[in-house]
Amino acid sequence: MDVGTRIALIEAGSPGLNIYSHVAMGRGVPLLATVVRDAGYDVRAYIEDISGKDSVDWEWVRTAAVVGFSTITCTLPRTLELVEHLRSVNPGAVVVFGGPESTCHPARSFECGADCVLKGEAEHTLPRLLDIITGRSAGRLGEVPGLMWRAEGGIAEGLPVRQLTAAELDALPPVDRTLIHSAEGASVASVWRTRGCPGKCDFCEVRELYPRCVRRSDERTLEELMAAQSDGYATTFLIDDNAAASKPAFVKFLESIVDRGYARMLVIQMRADAAFRSDGRLDREFLRLLKKAAAVTVVCVGVESATDANLEELGKQTDANRTARALKAMRRRGLLVHGMFIALKNDTCEVIARNGVYARRYVTSLQYLFETPLPGTRRTREHEADGSLLFTSVRDLRLYDGMHVVLQPLKMPAEEMQVRVLREYRKFYSAVRIVSAALRGAFLRFRLLDRGQRAYLRQVRGIRRLRLWLRLHFEYKFAPVAFIATGRARLKAMLRDAEYAAYLELLSKSSAALRSDGDQGASSARSAVR
């Protein structure tokens, strides 16, 4: 049976306003679109965070044989809306779900209308599944690793998920971003280097998704990084959850970036203690290299907490003083530090305030997320067992974006925790701090361009070179201002949003019901407020 070769891949947008709403980038869909195109299909990728809400071209999707949806937990409700619309315009399409949420909680994806769920990495398995669905191959569904599908009598499951090897990752094609609908809306290019993380943090889903940490060859990553620069992306996000996990390899990679002439903004994720050498002293050479590698290097660091007891609870294997030393050294050497903190359910008012003070002292931009029970992790199982989940219906999963309290706090009412954390955000993203960053930028922050940036400038001539030279300097000087100002704008928009007011009301009802109705069980309490 040949049911056509048109395939749509859709990544539903973020559920609401949050501090990263301005980051317009996709996750795995552009690469999946590339391999599906290479397998001979007519494919389009729709990423709402790039092209905007309601930007899916339904006229095109109406004739698609298969529609794939990429999910994370907080985008599941929006995915459900899109599936419902799809069913009204194209009832015959086969709906395939994949991505982190579907991999770790496939049952919820079936609840949202999936015909199949394809768990794990799908660059090899999706083309195989499409061949079976479209009749190009005579294979059987059970032969596709990671596949679950609706069958008579329930959900059937095929072979177990298989993670790709380094050689298989190297053999994947370079991502073709032209397959993204309205790709010009993307503000950041994502270039991946590693899949998985050697870390074992209990709250994190990465090790459920990628049990082994596999790095592809630098050559492939560098090719994509340089292609992103020549395609005009001013910022690249290096997808590598713990980039300095192997420091010698990362140093080699950074040196190659300089050699190739990378010159724009580079965002990396790294543990703070990578700033130290194995003898415990600061690794000044490494920090210098990080700065050299881009016009502006942004280091995202999972600080989590300024309280050692919390760090121990999370298995971070470090302490707040050591982290502070590392962050201070990074900033002194001109790096931008995006500090990522977590509000845990047993935090006290003092802990929250201490995190705020620590953030204002040591980081350039702040992400202070509420712990969110992502499916598949050990901490989520514990939260489920002790009845801490305030919201569990698919509709409410939009609140699982880290900007909303979704676990019942132990030491204060849920609304208070929400308000207190948001207060720390407001203090961080204050007008005074913008002015102070601007003054520091104008008078204290400057750099000499390095080999990579100079090579980049040499490629352009005349007035364009001068403009670019000025731009690189201004970006460096005022990037902290831009970061704080953007965070402030995001925060203000979120606080003014009607949806946020509605959430606060729902939160106080849900939390009161959970508190007062402990005996009857958490779920009946929650349904009472619905």
Q: Name the residues that contact ligand SF4, by CB under 6 A.
A: 197, 199, 201, 204, 206-207, 241-242, 302
Q: Which does 390 bind (CB under 5 to 8 A by kind): ligand B12, ligand SF4, none?
A: none
Least Å from the CB of residue 317 to ligand SF4: 10
The CA angle 35-40-44, to the nearest 5 degrees, is 65
Least Å from the CB of residue 119 to ligand B12: 8
Least Å from the CB of residue 377 to ligand SF4: 10
283/371 with CB nearer ligand SF4: 371
68/145 with CB nearer ligand B12: 68
- Longest alpha-carbon distance in the chain: 75
Q: Which does 185 bind (CB under 5 to 8 A by kind): ligand B12, ligand SF4, none?
A: none
Residue nearest to ligand B12 (CB): 98
Phi, psi of 368 (to 5 degrees): -120, 90
CA distance 501 to 246: 45
Least Å from the CB of residue 27 to ligand B12: 3
285/499 with CB nearer ligand B12: 499
> Please, are residues 358 and 328 in contact by the beta-carbon 8 Å criterion?
no
Token representation of residue 235: 């910022």
Least Å from the CB of residue 379 to ligand SF4: 11
Q: Which does 302 bind (CB under 5 to 8 A by kind): ligand B12, ligand SF4, none?
A: ligand SF4
Q: Which does 307 bind (CB under 5 to 8 A by kind): ligand B12, ligand SF4, none?
A: none
Least Å from the CB of residue 423 to ligand B12: 20
Alpha-helical regions (H) of 178-246: 206-209, 218-230
Token representation of residue 283: 């690794």
148/457 with CB nearer ligand B12: 148
207/354 with CB nearer ligand SF4: 207
User: What is 391-435 written as a DSSP string?
Assistant: --SGGGGGGTTTTS--B--SSS-HHHHHHHHHHHHHHHT-HHHHH
70 Cα distance to chain centroid:
13
Least Å from the CB of residue 25 to ligand B12: 5
366/414 with CB nearer ligand SF4: 366
Cα distances from 133 to residues 5, 99, 344, 447, in angstroms, run: 10, 20, 45, 56
Q: Which does 297 bind (CB under 5 to 8 A by kind): ligand B12, ligand SF4, none?
A: none
- For residue 354, what are the contacts with CB-CB under 8 A and spacing of at least 6? 306, 307
CA distance 344 to 371: 6
Q: Which does 199 bind (CB under 5 to 8 A by kind): ligand SF4, ligand B12, none?
A: ligand SF4
| Residue pointed to by tokens 């990752």 | 169
Q: Which does 100 bind (CB under 5 to 8 A by kind): ligand SF4, ligand B12, none?
A: ligand B12
User: What is 335-401 written as a DSSP string?
Assistant: -EEEEEEEE-TT--HHHHHHHHHHHHHH-SEEEEEEP---TT-HHHHHHHHTT-BS--SGGGGGGTT
180/472 with CB nearer ligand B12: 180
CA distance 48 to 13: 5
169/507 with CB nearer ligand B12: 169
CA distance 194 to 406: 30
Q: Which does 371 bind (CB under 5 to 8 A by kind): ligand SF4, ligand B12, none?
A: none
Token representation of residue 356: 């705020």
Q: Which does 74 bind (CB under 5 to 8 A by kind): ligand SF4, ligand B12, none?
A: ligand B12
> Please, are residues 347 and 409 in contact by the beta-carbon 8 Å criterion?
yes
CA distance 483 to 427: 14
61/303 with CB nearer ligand SF4: 303
Beta bridge partners of 68: 9, 96
Q: Which does 266 bind (CB under 5 to 8 A by kind): ligand B12, ligand SF4, none?
A: none
45/197 with CB nearer ligand SF4: 197
Q: Which does 242 bind (CB under 5 to 8 A by kind): ligand SF4, ligand B12, none?
A: ligand SF4
Least Å from the CB of residue 304 to ligand SF4: 8
Of 115, 117, 53, 125, the C-alpha closest to 90 is: 115
Least Å from the CB of residue 245 to ligand SF4: 8
Least Å from the CB of residue 340 to ligand SF4: 9
Cα distances from 119 to residues 96, 106, 126, 365, 400, in angstroms, run: 10, 8, 10, 34, 21
Least Å from the CB of residue 172 to ligand SF4: 22
Token representation of residue 466: 């001068």
Site residues for ligand B12 per CB under 6 A: 9, 14, 20, 23, 25-29, 31-32, 49, 68-70, 72-75, 96, 98-101, 104, 118, 121-123, 126, 190, 192, 204-206, 237, 239, 241, 369, 372, 374-375, 401-402
86/374 with CB nearer ligand B12: 374
